């Protein structure tokens, strides 16, 4: 097994196991590598990257399939990169661009109240240094993670304190004059970034190398894709389902086997599925009902557990009704604004108790918000915050235990800004839909989607450039606009939104 595999491969090692194995020898290892400044061993690097693993480990992204997949992909690439650095002899490493979703601690969310309530931010940076120490430093600083445990390395590493060496954006406390680099012989991180950017593949070049594989995988997946839509149609028609969805971006084969399993159950006991009528079925991590009233079937559960859930659906439906009622009451109290749910899947019972607690807190004081004065605005309830904030997309982010009077003041003073941001979001969404459609037509794509974390404005920019420059070799493929290049298992292509022409 290669050096980082044990620590990085999420299916091999859980977070707790990772914790156990790094804390035990941590102190000793930090000491060791402080002494040997030049060569950082594999184990020492893993130890130094510990805060990073905690922030990005896919195990913490269970509810976010795409973010999880991005982190898994990037960890694999980081693994490969670090392995190359371990090899003896001359190292000619190819620069690679990585994107990670970083979980935010409470502390950092307070500092940046504009971050989405789902509690993470995406960071992209380029790996280009050819020794382990500077690569580790690059990863930590690019992700704005603590580097104190590496402090005494600085001397051997002149530029590291001055910013995320090679990161996409420089949050540098000190910006040295160019002459500093000439004088000291240290590398100018800004210049290096420009150089690595020049070395990044162009979309055209990348497609030339990867389109054959994508087309082959896509061709091979066609029978499975047909089977999938056939099974889906059959189940929806037979049991009058609103839709069938998936919580994660599983491969087509995996989705097929889930539908086959439900079909088998429906053949054995058709009457069990009658309660599903009118619902959307979601294949998910756990069985239950989510806060939107969709029926989630845990993919690890056996038929017996699904059947039990179907039998309980009537009582779930009454919980859903009470939830809707609470939302209406809250909306009345708060000038017609709507509580919505973004972010991780929330079971309906949990959603109900969140709303209930919020409703109780609102009832504790008499609020004076004009009816309908906040109509058309939306709010997301958040357990983890202490102060209300306004998200850049126009959603209010409200702590459940917010003092009602403080809340009222905040809503009133921020309503105009919330309105203008909401309006802008809607306009961007409309523009995005139009340009995506046009792009699919002009480039003859089979599909075009984006990673959920990508903003409408980035997607619009990317699609406009697709239309202007009309890159070849994309016909008939599914393209997902993202932060990195990748060919997925069914031949879908991930392309960074800011691809180079």
Stretch near ligand NAG under the rule CB under 6 A, chosen from 15-23, 137-145, 288-296, 442-450: 288-296
Total number of residues binding ligand NAG (CB under 6 A)? 13
Q: Which two tokens stand for residue 473?
A: 């070799």
Long-range contacts, stretch 435-444, CB < 8 angstroms, 24+ apart: 435/459, 435/460, 435/463, 435/464, 435/467, 436/463, 438/463, 438/467, 439/463, 439/466, 439/467, 442/466, 442/467, 442/470, 443/467, 443/470, 443/471, 443/474, 443/475, 444/474, 444/475, 444/476
Contact string 326-365 vs ligand NAG (x = CB under 6 A): ---------------x---xx-------------------
What DSSP element (H or E) covers 116? none
Nearer Cβ to ligand NAG (245/264): 245
Q: How far is the CB of 221 from ligand NAG (least distance, A)?
A: 11
DSSP 252: H
DSSP 183-247: HH----HHHHHHHHHHHSPBHHHHHHHHHHHHHHHHHHHHHHHHHHHHHHHHHHHHHT-SEEEES
CA distances from residue 476 to 33, 98, 439, 482 in whole angstroms, order as listed? 52, 27, 13, 19
SS (H, E, C) 363-406: HCCCCCCCCCCCCCCEEEEECCCCCCEECCCCCEEEECCCCHHH
Nearer Cβ to ligand NAG (102/345): 345
Count other Cβ atoms within 10 Å, centred on residue 72: 18
Nearer Cβ to ligand NAG (327/329): 327
Please identify which residue in 175, 216, 406, 426 interacts with ligand NAG, judged by CB under 6 A: 216
Q: How far is the CB of 421 from ligand NAG (least distance, A)?
A: 21
Query: Residue 146: which of 241, 24, 257, 55 has the closest Cα?
Result: 55
Please identify which residue in 44, 190, 294, 492 interacts with ligand NAG, judged by CB under 6 A: 294
Nearer Cβ to ligand NAG (285/384): 285
Nearer Cβ to ligand NAG (278/371): 278
Nearer Cβ to ligand NAG (116/147): 116
What DSSP element (H or E) covers 342? none
Q: How far is the CB of 488 from ligand NAG (least distance, A)?
A: 16
Nearer Cβ to ligand NAG (303/327): 327
Q: What is the rounded distance in angstroms from the CA atom of residue 371 to the CA atom of residue 96?
A: 54
Stretch near ligand NAG under the rule CB under 6 A, chosen from 6-14, 154-162, 291-299, 301-309: 291-299
Q: How far is the CB of 342 from ligand NAG (least distance, A)?
A: 8
Nearer Cβ to ligand NAG (142/290): 290
Interacting residues with ligand NAG between 237 and 276 (CB under 6 A): 245, 247
Give yes or no for residue 290 binding ligand NAG (CB under 6 A). Answer: yes
Q: CB–CB of 438/409 below 8 Å?
A: no
Please identify which residue in 292, 305, 322, 424 interacts with ligand NAG, judged by CB under 6 A: 292
Nearer Cβ to ligand NAG (224/464): 224
Q: How far is the CB of 476 from ligand NAG (least distance, A)?
A: 8
Query: Residue 63: which of 350, 347, 353, 343 has the closest Cα?
Result: 343
Bridge-based pairing of strands 389-390 and 338-340 is unpaired
Please identify which residue in 122, 130, 215, 305 interacts with ligand NAG, judged by CB under 6 A: 215
Q: How far is the CB of 345 from ligand NAG (least distance, A)?
A: 4
Q: Which two tokens stand for residue 63?
A: 């509810």
Q: CB–CB of 5/82 below 8 Å?
A: no
Nearer Cβ to ligand NAG (139/291): 291
Q: Which two tokens stand for residue 460?
A: 């619009």
Stretch near ligand NAG under the rule CB under 6 A, chosen from 12-20, 32-40, 215-223, 396-404: 215-223
Indicate the angle between helix axes 303-333 and 252-268, nearest 10 degrees. 100
Stretch near ligand NAG under the rule CB under 6 A, chosen from 114-122, 180-188, 285-293, 480-488: 285-293
Interacting residues with ligand NAG between 168 and 187 (CB under 6 A): none
Nearer Cβ to ligand NAG (351/483): 351
Q: What is the rounded distance in angstroms from the CA atom of residue 201 to the CA atom of residue 354?
A: 48
Interacting residues with ligand NAG between 18 and 77 (CB under 6 A): none
Nearer Cβ to ligand NAG (96/345): 345
Please identify which residue in 291, 418, 473, 480 interacts with ligand NAG, judged by CB under 6 A: 291
**Residues at the interface with ligand NAG (CB under 6 A):** 215-216, 219, 245, 247, 282, 290-292, 294, 341, 345-346
């Amino acid at each position: 097994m290669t050096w980082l595999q044990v620590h990085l491969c999420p299916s091999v090692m859980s977070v707790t196991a990772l914790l156990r194995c790094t804390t035990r020898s941590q102190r000793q290892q930090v000491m060791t590598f402080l002494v040997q400044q030049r060569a950082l061993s594999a184990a020492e690097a893993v130890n130094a990257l510990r805060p990073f693993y905690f922030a990005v480990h896919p195990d913490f992204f269970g509810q976010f399939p795409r973010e999880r997949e991005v982190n898994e992909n990037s960890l694999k690439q980081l693994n490969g990169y670090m392995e190359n650095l371990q090899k003896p002899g001359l190292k000619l490493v190819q620069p690679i661009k990585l994107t990670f979703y970083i979980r935010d601690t409470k502390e950092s969310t307070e500092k940046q109240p504009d971050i989405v309530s789902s509690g993470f931010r995406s960071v992209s940076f380029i790996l280009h240094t050819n020794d382990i120490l500077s690569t580790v430093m690059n990863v930590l600083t690019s992700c704005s993670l603590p580097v104190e445990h590496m402090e005494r390395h600085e001397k051997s590493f002149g530029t590291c304190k001055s910013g995320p060496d090679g990161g996409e954006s420089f949050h540098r406390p000190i910006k040295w004059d160019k002459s500093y680099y000439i004088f000291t012989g240290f590398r100018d991180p800004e210049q290096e970034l420009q150089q690595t950017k020049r070395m990044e593949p162009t979309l055209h070049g990348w497609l030339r190398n990867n389109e054959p594989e994508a087309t082959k995988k896509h061709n091979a997946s066609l029978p499975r894709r047909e089977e999938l839509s056939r099974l889906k149609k059959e189940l929806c028609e037979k049991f009058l389902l609103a839709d069938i969805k998936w919580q994660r971006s599983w491969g087509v084969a995996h989705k097929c086997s889930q539908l086959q399993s439900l079909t088998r159950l429906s053949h054995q006991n058709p009457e069990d599925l009658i309660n599903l009528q009118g619902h959307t079925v979601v294949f998910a991590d756990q069985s239950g009902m989510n806060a939107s009233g969709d029926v989630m079937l845990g993919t690890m559960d056996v038929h017996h557990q699904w059947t039990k859930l179907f039998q309980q659906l009537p009582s779930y439906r009454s919980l859903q009704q009470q939830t809707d009622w609470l939302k209406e009451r809250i909306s009345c109290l708060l000038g017609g604004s709507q509580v919505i749910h973004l972010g991780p899947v929330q079971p309906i019972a949990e959603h109900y108790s969140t709303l209930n607690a919020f409703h109780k807190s609102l009832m504790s004081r008499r609020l004076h918000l004009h009816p309908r004065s906040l109509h058309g605005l939306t709010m997301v309830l958040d357990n983890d915050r202490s102060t209300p904030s306004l998200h850049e997309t126009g959603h209010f982010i409200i702590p459940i235990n917010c003092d009602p009077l403080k809340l009222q003041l905040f809503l009133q003073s921020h309503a105009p800004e919330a309105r203008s941001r909401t309006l802008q979001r809607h306009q961007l969404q409309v523009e995005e839909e139009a340009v995506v459609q046009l792009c699919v037509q002009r480039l003859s794509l089979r599909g075009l989607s984006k990673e959920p974390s990508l903003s409408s404005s980035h997607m619009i920019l990317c699609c406009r450039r697709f239309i202007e420059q009309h890159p070849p070799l994309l016909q008939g493929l599914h393209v997902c606009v993202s932060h990195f290049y990748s060919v997925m298992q069914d031949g879908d292509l991930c392309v960074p939104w800011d691809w180079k022409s």
